[in-house]
Amino acid sequence: MSVHYLSVNQPFLSRDSRKIEASPYFNSSNEPNITISSDGFGGVSDMNAQVFSKALAGLAEPLQRLASSTPPSMLESVRSGKPTRLDERLYDATATVKIKMSNVAMHIGTEWRDKLFNQIDSLHDIKEWDEDDNPVNKDSFGAFIKELILLKPDNHPGLGLSFNGNVIAMWRKNNDKLIIEFLANGKAKWLVSHDVGGDVERASGISNLLRLPECIAPYNPERWFKK
Amino acid sequence: MTNLDSSSMQYSRPPIIESIINIQFEKDVGFKEVEALRKKFSKHYFNEIEIPHYNVKVEVRENTKKHEAKVKQESISYRFSNEDSNQLLVLEPNSFIVSQLAPYAGWDEFYERFRRDWEAWRRVVGYQKISRIGVRYINRLDIPLKNEKVKHEEYVNIYPRLPSYFSSVNSYQVECIIPLDEVNAELRLNSAVVPSPVLNHLSVLIDQDIFKDNELPQKNADLFMYLEAIHKEKNKVFELCVSDKARELFK
């Protein structure tokens, strides 16, 4: 048997190639469903008639029957128009990140998941919300979840949002803090502060998600992560 | 040797990212019934979103070079979801879709919700001839990378067969349509490498859609019995598509 390797050090993981993903599962659309009328005078149907032969046209119907509809999860943000009401905007943002988390639910325990859901609900609490604030950015949240699965901390961080909706995670032990802001481009800004007899030492950096554990390793992150 | 008895397959972290039961109808349900359904299901679900369907007609007159576009709303669908956004119900004029996103708590829970909603739907709409039944399970195997490589053949049993000249594969997607004699239906089986949502992993999708569009059960009791049979069959298909090494990932 020949064994073929799948290597990740290849362009298929680049952002551009993701755009040409052929799986119907990824044909997400944020637009309302639109069908083109087949009975228009001189319209699209007439043009099609010139392009396809009768034999080919006959294939379309059975093929369409075979095709599955878009999974309901991919309809998540479909609304008739962009949500303008604050409660709708907050609901959409909350639902989007919950669906994102659902996508990796098998890597997150129920207790942890419930806690994260409560934190998101609390961050998007409409009573505390300022009109100028931005709800959580889904890409930043995606980066946060990826990092949590990688780090697997026993202690879960406190969460906040930056003005542009980036997730900010904070761990604290006595006066020592680790603060990480997850950026929408898959990078993370981190800040460590360490209290040495009243003097506070600080270190900070920006790194990609995979390198982050190594970047903060010299600062003994176990004190924040381990119970 | 793989045990294909579906009742014995209980995984603690099943790789199912979405399970769907889709019932399609010969004729569309009217606006009035859809509105009555909306009211009914608002009680069961936390949120609802309206999805309008438009018909766009573009008329181009060659002699005057003028064009005219007419947009008309043809129908409306509703998508309901629970507070965690992982239990979904989509009501379309010609279909009824129940979906469960991860975490998947098992067939019993999923099927009970389907039955509850389906019976409520039938009480409002009455008899509507079923034209297609589909059960779809989308699984994603997140395989840890070792030295940035994965031998996908060690985890899944569906992948493209290639000449040995090719030593590595960057990505693939395969689709097969297979008759399933056991349930007198067809299986549309997809497998593909997809971008992994987990760092340092490679993800492979196994998407099975079991569907039937002729000689369909029309009565509730027959439909429920048929869905149970499909459930057993889909478990068997999944077990055939993965290896023991893959099972280690989610047991």
pLDDT surpassing 50 at residue B92: yes
Question: Whole-angstrom Cα distance, residue B251 to residue B242?
Answer: 13
List the one residue out of A49, A76, A65 whose CA is nearest residue B79.
Answer: A76
Give the range among A22-26, A112-116, B88-92, B107-111 with minimum mean pLDDT.
Answer: A22-26
**Is pLDDT larger for residue A92 or for residue A38?**
A92
Tell me the residues of chain A between 204 and 223 that have a Cβ less than 8 Å away from chain B: 209-210
Q: What DSSP element (H or E) covers A207?
A: strand A199-208
Helices (H) and strands (E) in chain B, counts: 4, 11
Q: Is A13 on the interface with B (CB under 8 A)?
A: yes
User: Are residues B174 and B159 in contact, defined by beta-carbon separation less than 8 angstroms?
Assistant: yes
Cis peptide before A32 (omega within 30 of 0): no
Instruction: Tell me the backbone φ, ψ of residue A205, rounded to 5 degrees.
Output: -170, 175
Q: Are residues B117 and B169 in the same domain?
A: no
**Is pLDDT larger for residue A185 or for residue A60?**
A185
What pLDDT is attached to residue A92?
A: 87
Q: Is B248 on the interface with A (CB under 8 A)?
A: no
Burial class (CB in 10 A: 0-12, 13-18, 19+), B16: buried
List the one residue out of A212, A209, A210 whose CA is nearest residue A192.
Answer: A212
Q: Are residues B134 and B236 in the same domain?
A: yes
Minimum-distance CB partner of B56 among A11, A24, A37:
A37
List the one residue out of A139, A145, A185, A179 whose CA is nearest residue A160.
Answer: A179
Last residue of a domain, one of B97, B127, B157: B127
Reading the block at residue B182, the tokens are: 């056991």
* Across A106-111, average pLDDT: 89
Q: Would residue A152 be called left, alpha or beta, if left means φ above 0 and alpha means ψ between -120 and 50 degrees?
A: left
Query: Read out DSSP for B170-200?
Result: S--EEEEEEEEGGGTEEEEEEEEEE--SSTT
Look up residue B174 and give its amino acid: V
Q: What's the first-to-final CA gap in chain A, in angstroms?
A: 47
**Which residue of chain A has the CA closest to B146?**
A7
* Sequence-ordered list of residues with C-beta below 8 angstroms from that of B205, at least 6 positions apart, any chain: A23, A25, B138, B139, B140, B141, B190, B191, B192, B193, B194
User: Are residues A4 and B24 in contact, defined by beta-carbon separation less than 8 angstroms?
Assistant: no
pLDDT band at A48 (very low <50, low <70, confident <90, very high): very low
Q: Are residues B71 and B42 in the same domain?
A: yes
What pLDDT is attached to residue B148?
A: 76
pLDDT band at A88 (very low <50, low <70, confident <90, very high): confident
pLDDT surpassing 80 at residue A167: yes
Q: Is A91 on the interface with B (CB under 8 A)?
A: yes
pLDDT over 90 percentage in chain B? 67
pLDDT band at A218 (very low <50, low <70, confident <90, very high): very high
Q: Are residues B148 and B229 in the same domain?
A: yes
Tell me the residues of chain B between 167 and 186 that have a Cβ less than 8 Å away from chain A: 167-171, 173, 177, 186
pLDDT over 70 percentage in chain A? 65
What pLDDT is attached to residue A65?
A: 52
What one-character DSSP code corresponds to residue A133? -
* Across B187-199, average pLDDT: 94
Q: Are residues B118 and B236 in the same domain?
A: no
Residues of A within 8 A of B163 (CB-CB) are 2
Question: Whole-angstrom Cα distance, residue B102 to residue B82?
Answer: 13
pLDDT band at B167 (very low <50, low <70, confident <90, very high): confident
Q: Are residues B140 and B192 in the same domain?
A: yes
Q: Are residues B119 and B150 in the same domain?
A: no
What pLDDT is attached to residue B146?
A: 84
Q: Are residues B250 and B186 in the same domain?
A: yes
* DSSP bridge partners of A160: A168
- Give chain A's mean pLDDT: 75
Tell me the residues of chain B between 137 and 166 that have a Cβ less than 8 Å away from chain A: 138, 142, 145, 148-153, 159, 162-164, 166
pLDDT tens for B221-238 read 999 999 999 999 999 999
* Across A89-117, average pLDDT: 90
* Across B7-28, average pLDDT: 87
* Across B96-118, average pLDDT: 95
pLDDT surpassing 70 at residue A103: yes
**Measured torsion, CA atoms of residues A195, A200, A205, A207, in degrees rounded to the nearest 10:** 10
Reading the block at residue B241, the tokens are: 């598509």
Give the range among A32-41, A104-113, B10-19, B239-248 with minimum mean pLDDT.
Answer: A32-41
Cβ distance of A8 and B148 shorter than 8 Å:
yes
Last residue of a domain, one of B78, B98, B127: B127
Q: Are residues B111 and B168 in the same domain?
A: no
Most confident of A17-21, A37-41, B116-120, B162-166: B116-120
ipTM of the complex: 0.81
Q: Are residues B7 and B75 in the same domain?
A: no
List the one residue out of B163, B159, B168 whose CA is nearest residue A9.
Answer: B168
Q: Are residues B40 and B119 in the same domain?
A: yes
Cβ distance of A41 and B59 shorter than 8 Å:
yes
Site of tokens 């708590």 = B105
Residues of A within 8 A of B164 (CB-CB) are 2
pLDDT over 90 percentage in chain A? 48
Last residue of a domain, one of B127, B144, B165: B127
pLDDT tens for A138-151 read 999 999 999 999 99
Residues of B within 8 A of A95 (CB-CB) are 47, 81, 85
Q: Are residues B60 and B181 in the same domain?
A: no
List the one residue out of B211, B201, B213 whose CA is nearest residue B249.
Answer: B201
* DSSP bridge partners of A5: B151, B168
Look up residue B170 and give its amino acid: N
pLDDT band at A72 (very low <50, low <70, confident <90, very high): confident
Reading the block at residue B139, the tokens are: 């699984």
pLDDT surpassing 80 at residue A43: no
The domain of B169 spans 1-26+129-251
Question: Whole-angstrom Cα distance, residue B71 to residue B57?
Answer: 6
What's the structural domain count of chain B?
2
What pLDDT is attached to residue B68?
A: 80
* Across A106-117, average pLDDT: 90
What pLDDT is attached to residue B57?
A: 81
- Give chain B's mean pLDDT: 90
